[in-house]
């Protein structure tokens, strides 16, 4: 084993948080070594998650839009699906971004080492690459090792027809029938991809609603769309048994209350969440504290219980989102370099990149009711938006929650095209402590979907002219 490598700062994991931390530290003058199990940087988000899924969602969104144009007088022929070409397109996008990150690492003189890192002590790790291993010592370390797909107990192992979010994006083929287990973000996004490409998709969710983190009035337009696209949506139901049939199909026993039904599917996608990758790191060689959920305990500076070791992203806490990891990575890097920095956001946005998109940030109405938090609410239906009507998005809605006393923004929920872009305005409002008047007096361009944010504030102020709201 070679023991001749030393890093002023070692970063374990080259996902969005890890490479952001490495690059920021390098910009601040640190000698940085970046380690990842993959041969390329970018992590799950770039290589097997956010980016390839959005590439596929864009394709399916355009397909759906082309189909909907028939109502506007434009008719196209039935689309021809070339799955190999679609896969190549997806892979090309990923490769392009991989190359971009590699170029930025080279420009910053960040050394990239491919291999699996495990702690030897609180100042060194062993990195295994195939049959070879090397020891890397460090002054400081940032753990950005991410998370992995969680699996249901009792699911047959090593069955190529049982997919995770990773393997589902490989697009080996388009199955005739597919069951999605889990009605969260990943489940509905990938379910919509496969349904649009031709699969007969069913979805089963243990909870009574899909996208449980969002307010259900915001989710409803998406749910209505999915009910048309999917063969069935089974809520309040759970999978109790999966078995392999001789004909290659998968037999699934699904329980709802006292009723049990058995269905057969060509493929199953398990999308029941993710778990932090703490088990791979040999943390027992350190005194790093880990909580019951498997997350590494950190403070607002992203420091672990070991002063020279930091943790960021999925491995440190929920929500498991790339943009959260990126910000935490910069904070950890800056603190490691002696810069004043802290991770203390007022909110973190969430987006479901389906058609229609669903986005929210800050306090949800569900949370407010559960916590007995006083609030006022204003909504603007996109059925009153000229732009939304023009693009067939009249099912959309913008909702803002305001503090009863200060009238500042507490939370925002949006459903409709580009909701994921518009939600950034909500985030800025929360971070800046904007009130309804700040928003309503900010002139928004017309006609846009973004102006629905200002119009919602006008509803709250009672200055709206695009709707008639009788005075109380």
> Is 283 found in the same domain as 245?
no
**Continuous segment of H or E residues that includes residue 19:** helix 16-27
472 within domain boundaries: no
pLDDT tens, residue by residue, 215-259: 999 999 999 999 999 999 999 999 999 998 888 899 999 999 999
pLDDT tens, residue by residue, 349-377: 999 999 999 999 999 999 999 999 999 99
> Is 42 found in the same domain as 134?
yes
Cite the active site residues.
446
> Is 166 found in the same domain as 268?
yes
> Is 261 found in the same domain as 279?
no
* Residue 366: both structure tokens together: 């569900």
175 within domain boundaries: yes
- Which domain does 328 fall in, by range? 2-149+275-336
Backbone angles phi, psi at 210, to 5 degrees: -85, 160
HSE-CB of 458 using CA atoms within 13 angstroms: 19
pLDDT greater than 60 at residue 169:
yes
- The packing angle between helices 83-107 and 16-27, to 10°, is 20
pLDDT greater than 70 at residue 3:
no
Longest dimension (CA), the chain: 78
Give the residue carrying structure tokens 């629905």. Answer: 452
Give the predicted TM-score (pTM) of the model: 0.93
* CATH number (domain holding residue 87): 3.50.50.60
395 within domain boundaries: yes
List, in sequence order, the alpha helices (H) in 273-377: 322-336, 365-370
Q: Return the SS3 of 182.
A: coil
Which pLDDT does position 48 carry in this prediction? 82
pLDDT greater than 80 at residue 298:
yes
Is residue 143 within 8 A of residue 281, CB to CB? The reply is yes
470 within domain boundaries: no
Is residue 399 within 8 A of residue 378, CB to CB? The reply is yes
Low-confidence winner among 90-94, 174-178, 305-309 (lowest mean pLDDT): 90-94
pLDDT tens, residue by residue, 15-72: 999 999 999 999 999 999 999 999 998 888 888 888 988 889 898 889 888 888 888 8
Which pLDDT does position 22 carry in this prediction? 97
Q: Name which of 353, 361, 466 is nearest 417 in CA terms.
A: 353
Q: Per the structure, how many domains does the chain have?
A: 3
Which pLDDT does position 2 carry in this prediction? 53
Q: Where residue 293 falls among pLDDT bands split at 50, 70, 90? A: very high
Q: Where residue 178 falls among pLDDT bands split at 50, 70, 90? A: very high
> Is 279 found in the same domain as 137?
yes
Q: E strands, 299-349, where?
A: 309-311
> Is 89 found in the same domain as 200?
no
> Is 286 found in the same domain as 262?
no
Q: Return the SS3 of 362.
A: strand
* 468: number of Cβ within 10 Å: 7
> Is 126 found in the same domain as 167?
no
Q: Facing residues of 200 across strands?
A: 177
Boundary (domain end) residue, out of 244, 272, 300? 272
How is 370-397 classified by DSSP, letter by letter? HTT---EEEEEEGGG-HHHHHTT-TT-E
> Is 140 found in the same domain as 119?
yes
pLDDT greater than 80 at residue 4:
no
């Amino acid at each position: 084993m070679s023991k001749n490598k030393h890093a002023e700062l070692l970063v374990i994991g080259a996902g969005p948080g890890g490479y952001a931390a490495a690059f920021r530290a390098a910009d601040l003058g640190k000698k940085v070594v970046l380690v990842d199990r993959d041969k390329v940087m970018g992590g799950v988000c770039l290589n097997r998650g956010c980016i390839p899924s959005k590439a596929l969602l864009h394709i399916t969104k355009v397909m759906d839009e082309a189909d909907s144009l028939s109502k506007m007088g434009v008719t196209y022929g039935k689309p021809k699906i070339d799955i190999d070409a679609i896969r190549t397109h997806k892979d090309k996008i990923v490769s392009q971004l991989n190359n971009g990150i590699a170029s930025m690492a080279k420009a910053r003189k960040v050394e990239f080492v491919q291999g699996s890192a495990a702690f030897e002590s609180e100042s060194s790790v062993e990195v295994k690459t195939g049959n070879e291993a090397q020891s890397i010592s460090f002054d400081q370390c940032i753990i950005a090792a991410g998370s992995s797909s969680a699996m249901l107990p009792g699911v047959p192992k090593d069955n190529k027809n049982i997919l995770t979010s990773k393997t589902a994006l490989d697009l080996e083929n388009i199955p005739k029938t597919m069951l999605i287990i889990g009605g969260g973000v990943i489940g509905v996004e990938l379910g919509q991809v496969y349904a649009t490409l031709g699969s007969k998709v069913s979805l089963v969710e243990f909870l009574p609603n899909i996208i449980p983190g969002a307010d259900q009035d915001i989710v409803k337009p998406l749910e209505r769309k999915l009910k048309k696209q999917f063969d069935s949506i089974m809520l309040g139901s759970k999978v109790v048994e999966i078995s392999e049939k001789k004909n290659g199909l998968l037999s699934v026993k699904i329980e709802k209350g006292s009723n049990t039904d058995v269905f057969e599917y060509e493929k199953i996608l398990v999308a029941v969440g993710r778990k932090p990758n703490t088990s791979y790191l040999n943390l027992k060689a350190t005194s790093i504290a880990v909580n019951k959920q498997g997350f590494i305990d950190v403070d607002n500076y992203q420091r672990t219980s070991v002063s020279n070791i930091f943790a960021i992203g999925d491995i440190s806490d929920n929500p498991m989102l790339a943009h959260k990891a990126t910000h935490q990575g910069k904070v950890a890097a800056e603190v490691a370099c002696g810069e004043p920095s802290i991770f203390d956001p007022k909110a973190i946005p969430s987006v479901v990149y389906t058609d229609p998109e669903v986005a929210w940030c800050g306090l949800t109405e569900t949370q407010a009711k559960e916590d007995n938090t006083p609030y006022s609410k204003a909504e603007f239906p996109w059925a009153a938006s000229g732009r939304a009507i023009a693009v067939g998005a009249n099912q959309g809605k913008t909702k803002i929650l305001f503090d009863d006393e200060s009238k500042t923004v507490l939370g925002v929920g949006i459903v409709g095209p580009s909701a994921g872009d518009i939600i950034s305005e909500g985030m800025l409002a929360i971070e800046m402590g904007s009130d309804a008047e700040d928003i309503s007096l900010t002139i928004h361009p017309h006609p846009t979907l973004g102006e629905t944010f200002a119009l919602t504030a006008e509803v709250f102020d009672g200055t709206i002219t695009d709707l008639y709201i009788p005075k109380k």
